[in-house]
Amino acid sequence: MKMKMNKREKNNIILIISSFFIGLIVSFIIMNIFLPKEVGNTYNNSLTKTIEKVEDGVVLIETYTGMAQPSAGSGFIYKKGPLNAYVLTNEHVLEGEKIIVTNSKGQETEGKVLGRDSYLDLAVIEINTSSAPKALTFGDSTKTKVGDSVFAIGSPIGRRYQGSVSSGILSGKDRIVPTKINDKDEWVMKALQFDASINSGNSGGPLFNSKGEVIGICTMKLIEEGIEGMSFALPIEDAEKYLDLLEQGKEIERPELGISMTNISNTLQLINNDITIPDDTMYGAVVLDVKEESSAAKNLQKGDIITQIDDQEIRDTTYVKYVLFQHNKGDKITIYYLRDGKKKSTKITLQ
């Protein structure tokens, strides 16, 4: 027996079928607009466009002494003027007498070192504006969060791999990383940690956020057995505040406490100075001597163990220097220390 549909039922079926096909069409449009597209074997994502926007601001830096090439690294153009442009890099990259800067187009030009600082591991190089295709934009690393996407552009192993890109995430902030100045003096730096791969030749190159803004300067990575993906960059704010001085070739003046120090682990030196450390004291910087009329002359004395300055824990003498070098003469700091096993604090105006 045949069933006959009335007009309303027919209209409902037509409406259902129409809605189904309209839904398919809308879904197809949304997928094409909002989802990444595959074009051949190329994955077209947002990072590609960002890299294209900034890659012309990154340069290769090679140094020469005679025919020898003692060092090579990376850098980036951060400012352009009518005649000259300015390149920022790591100070340790500049070991030779002659500096050759090669831009992303392969154009070479000789660079002039305007200013350098070994503690910050920073240097500013001047080049002709005609050799500077693009100046990069500074971001704000303080606004980044762990897990944010980052990428680096540089020249690992030198010219052959110029313009190499590596990407990853921000793994940590405000990391205190031990290092050495001129491969000799111990030092610490506060750094951004990230897992994008960098190698010899990446030093001095930019670390970017996902917008293509420079948030750091790639400086080092940990190289030890069993360690992978631990790279570090100097936050761009720590470099930016000294750029005017470096461009003018002026030395960065830093305050002093006027004390000589040693580490708790330096047992022989402590014995020679007749200083005894409490058994439960695990870290700190031990005062050996205080200069007359220095910043600390009226506040500290031989045998005091500095354990904290402001909000920074002091593990050893390198931490004291690091904290001092974040300040200017005339700044006031609060020092926390142990004297005869008792906790004390004092405020000092730096000279």
Spatial distance between the Cα atoms of 40 and 28, rounded to a whole number of angstroms: 19
Q: What residues are labeled active site? A: 92, 121, 203
Closest of 174, 151, 175, 148 to residue 164, by C-alpha:
151
Could you tell me which residues come within 8 angstroms of residue 74 by beta carbon, excluding any fewer than 6 positions away?
Answer: 58, 59, 60, 61, 89, 93, 153, 154, 155, 201, 202, 203, 204, 205, 206, 218
**Token pair for 37:** 């597209």
Judge contact between 206 and 155, C-beta under 8 A: no
Q: In angstroms, what CA-CA distances link 121 with 180, 217, 267, 282, 310?
A: 10, 10, 31, 30, 24
State how beta strands 185-194 and 206-209 pair: unpaired
- Which amino acid is residue 314, in one-letter code? I
Could you tell me which residues come within 8 angstroms of residue 166 by beta carbon, excluding any fewer than 6 positions away?
Answer: 151, 152, 196, 197, 198
- Which amino acid is residue 189, in one-letter code? M
Q: Which helix (H) or strand (E) holds 246?
A: helix 243-247
* Residue indicated by tokens 């402001």: 310
Spatial distance between the Cα atoms of 110 and 131, rounded to a whole number of angstroms: 10
